[in-house]
Amino acid sequence: MSNSQSQGYVTSMGHTKRSFDKLMPLAALIFSVLTGLALGLTHSQQMNALTSEQESHLGNILAGQLAKVIREPLIHRDSLSLQVELDDMLDITGVSQTAVYDIENQLIARAGDNDRRSMDISRYRSPVSVDDNTIGFVSVILQPDYYAAQTTTATRILLLLWILLAAVLIFVAFRFGNSLSRRLTTLLEQLPGSETGKGDELAQLEYRIEPLLRKLGTTSHPLFGQSVATLAIACRNLPRLEALLNQEHFKALMVKLDQLVEGAERLYGATRLPGSDYHVYLEFAEGDNDQLSRAIHCAAALLRLSSQLLDKQGVTVELTAAVSPGLQLASPSILLSERELGKRLAEMQSLLNKGAAGEILLADHTDLQLAELDAIDLSPLAEGSAVYRINHLGEHSEARLKRQLAILGEQLDPL
């Protein structure tokens, strides 16, 4: 996998419109707006209902009181006393206008604002009665915005609280989404392969990790009829170590190597094939045309990590690795398939014999995708040779390999 391809993938991940660091704040914003609208509508309805109830209650009480206090002046047609009582009623906060009418609804006296635009919705009337006979009417008009002004403070406080909670929620969603996006992107960079699916980081992680998961009900035998890459590793000095070390120490060494191979098998999505004479064979069959890249990274990881782990025990294991891409042909017969597998493993043994300790060899193939090797330095074993030596990986591949080595090392440390 080339360095430019990897950088393009990371860039696209960091700026994708479906990234979690944008989706989660957007979801928080939508939730805050919808919640704010719901709370605002509920608050508005409750305040309007409460204001209307209080205004109606006050208007009816004031009209009733005014009808009582002007009864005597109205009976005696004392205009001065009527005007005084009407003016006194205006001293009550919220009262805009007061008026007295005769039995024929003709205006007798009035005090306060003469604007009648809101009289139909704010006027409260009460009859003036004497011995069950109505002698006139009084009306009280309240200021339309008086109670609305009293609820403005509560509305502003609620609005400020909503803005504060929405800002906190969006900020927390942004931080969490950004952290989640970085962690998922880091996991994606550690996985072998470069192809990505559609969707956010989690969907792409599922897409990339699916080939690494062994599904229930599937067989562990090699798969036939698809492109594969085979990794062979020869432990050259194990026969000599077996003769030099005591059996207990040698068995512990073998267990350590097995644990290392099993960890690499899980991480890189490989299938271990039957081996012999201190040879390890891994097949990379599932994936999105990244089998060769996974095999090469797996070989580099096994060689480096085995050297780091076993050197601590004072033991040096000489390993040689060979990678061969190819197409595994389908066969209706298991026996024929096993025979073909035997031939392929024999070819891998022959390829291993050409390498020295610590080397990774790569067999040429007509179907080899050279784009996978853009960031890998190769050199032929000899002029005109079909076998190449992998000198070193590219910068991005090395960075990814270091992270993969850390994962394998963590799995082996407790052992």
Q: DSSP letters along 76-98, please?
A: TT-HHHHHHHHHHHHTSTTEEEE
For residues 157 and 236, membership in a common domain is answered with: no
Say if residue 73's pLDDT is above 90: no
Tell which wins on pLDDT, 138 or 154: 138
Q: Which of 379, 328, 326, 339 is nearest to 355 (CA)?
A: 379
Higher-pLDDT residue of 37 and 122 is 37
Indicate if 262 and 401 belong to the same structural domain: yes
Q: Are residues 28 and 111 in the same domain?
A: yes
Residues 236 and 96 in one domain: no
- Comparing 112-121, 156-165, 241-250, 254-263, the range with the smallest average pLDDT is 112-121
Of 382 and 193, which is predicted with more confidence?
382
Q: Is residue 86 part of a domain?
A: yes
**Nearest C-alpha neighbor of 359 from the set 385, 383, 378:** 378
What is residue 212's predicted lDDT score, i.e. its pLDDT? 57
233/379 same-domain check: yes
Element (H, E) at 124: strand 123-130
- The pTM (predicted TM-score) of the whole model is 0.48
CA distance 347 to 350: 5
Per-residue model confidence (pLDDT) at position 167: 93
Q: List the CATH number of the domain containing 33.
A: 3.30.450.20
Query: Domain boundary at 134, 168, 202, which?
Result: 168
Percent of the chain whose pLDDT exceeds 70: 78
Give a yes or no: residue 188 inside a domain: no
350 part of a folded domain? yes
| Residues 121 and 258 grouped into a single domain | no
Which pair of structure tokens corresponds to residue 156? 């502003």
Is residue 275 within 8 Å of 233, Cβ to Cβ? no
Whether residue 370 is predicted with pLDDT greater than 50 in this model: the reply is no
Q: Is residue 56 part of a domain?
A: yes
Say if 13 falls within a structural domain: no
Q: pLDDT at position 31, please? A: 92
CB 330 within 8 A of CB 249: no
* Residue 90 belongs to domain spanning: 18-168
Q: Let me know: does 299 contact 389? Beta carbons within 8 Å.
A: no
Whole-number pLDDT of residue 3 = 39
The predicted structure's pLDDT at residue 371: 44
Q: Answer for the pair 354, 361: CB distance below 8 angstroms, yes or no.
A: yes
In-domain check, residue 12 = no
**157 and 243 within one domain:** no
Long-range pairs for 203-207: beta carbons < 8 A, 24 or more residues apart = 204/13
Q: How many CB atoms lie within 10 A of CB 33?
A: 12
> Residue 33's pLDDT is what?
92
The one-letter amino acid code at 62 reads L
Least confident among 95-104, 175-184, 286-295? 286-295
Whether 155 and 262 map to the same domain: the answer is no
Give the best-scoring range by mean pLDDT among 6-10, 141-145, 147-151, 159-163: 159-163
Say whether both 117 and 258 belong to one domain.
Answer: no
Residue 229's pLDDT is what? 85
d(CA 331, CA 225): 8
Query: What pLDDT sits at residue 277?
Result: 75
274, 281 Cβ separation under 8 angstroms: yes
CB atoms inside a 10 Å sphere around CB 401: 18
Mean local confidence (pLDDT), 375-395: 79
Can you name the residues that pair with 362 across neighbouring β-strands? 323, 388
CB 205 within 8 A of CB 184: yes
Same domain, 112 and 259: no
Q: How confident is the model at residue 172 (pLDDT cuts 50, 70, 90)?
A: very high
Instruction: Measure CA 300 to chain center.
Output: 33
Mean pLDDT throughout 229-238?
85
The domain boundary residue, chosen from 168, 198, 228:
168
What does the chain come to in residues? 415
Mean pLDDT of 254-258: 84
Beta strands in 7-103 (DSSP E): 95-102
d(CA 319, CA 304): 10
6-20, 43-57, 320-334: segment of lowest average pLDDT: 6-20
Residues 156 and 233 in one domain: no
Contact 134, 103 (CB under 8 A): yes
CA distances from 321 to 283, 301, 311, 315 (A): 13, 11, 19, 19
Which of 130, 152, 168 finishes a domain?
A: 168
Q: Are 162 and 98 in contact (CB under 8 A)?
A: no
Q: What is the CATH number of the domain that holds 331?
A: 3.30.70.1230
Residue 385 included in any domain = yes
**Domain identity same for 317 and 250:** yes
CA distance 311 to 50: 82
Describe the strand order of the beta sheet including 360-363 as a list of residue ranges. Answer: 271-273, 279-284, 226-235, 319-328, 360-363, 387-392, 377-380
Q: How confident is the model at residue 287 (pLDDT cuts 50, 70, 90)?
A: low
Flag whether pLDDT at 362 surpasses 60: yes
What value, to the nearest 5°, has the Cα angle with vertex 340 and ends 337 and 341?
85
Residues 6+ apart with CB under 8 A from 410: none
**How much is the mean pLDDT over the chain?**
77
Confidence bin at 283 (pLDDT 50/70/90): confident
Identify the three-state secondary structure at position 127: strand
In a domain, 173, yes or no: no
pLDDT at 344 over 60: yes
Q: Please state the domain count of the chain.
A: 2
Average pLDDT over every residue of 367-388: 67
Is residue 340 scored above 60 in pLDDT? Answer: yes
